[in-house]
Amino acid sequence: MFIRIALMATLLAVALPGWAQQSQLPLLELFAGMHRVEAEVAATLDSRASGLMQRTIMAPQRGMLFVFPEVAKHCMWMRNTLLPLSVAFLDEKGRIINVEDMQPKSDDNHCAAKPARYALEMNLGWFKSRGLGAGFAITGIDKAPSGR
């Protein structure tokens, strides 16, 4: 029986790329206007440090919300991150401060233009293709846990 279960798990992992990469982080439903986002929440130092590293696929509606313990000019980088991403830096109310495009495996810093409480990473071009930029509010952010 154990061999059958192990074989089924292996077949699923091969058949569904990214299936084995699913995070154990909590999910938070956010909205950018009519666009729904399933955001994995990185609210601890360890989860923020690993972020989306080593992932090879992410669903179009999926992203990662980084919750920082303090409002500051936070920066992101892409070391060991294999997916091209866009990051929106958000103020305490979820309003977009600025959006930066980031290329995989880069140590280049991408920083908030002003002090931010959150950063929302999505697939490259997600914000631009939906016309979302500075001043646009991401709703549901009030349900995010405190950063620690």
Task: Look up the CATH number of the domain holding residue 73.
Answer: 2.60.120.1140
89 in any annotated domain: yes
Spell out the per-residue pLDDT of the chain, length 148, in tens. Answer: 434 444 344 434 433 444 334 468 999 999 999 999 999 999 999 999 999 999 999 999 999 999 999 999 999 999 999 999 999 999 999 999 999 999 999 999 999 999 999 999 999 999 999 999 999 999 999 999 999 9
Number of domains in the chain: 1
Helix, strand, coil in percent for the chain, rounding step 5: 20, 35, 45
30 in any annotated domain: yes
Alpha-carbon distance 87 to 63, whole Å?
A: 10
4 in any annotated domain: no
Domain hosting residue 62, numbered range: 24-143
pLDDT of residue 24: 85
1 in any annotated domain: no
17 in any annotated domain: no
60 in any annotated domain: yes
State the pTM of this model: 0.84
Compute φ and ψ for 116, nearest 5 degrees. Answer: -130, 155
57 in any annotated domain: yes
68 in any annotated domain: yes
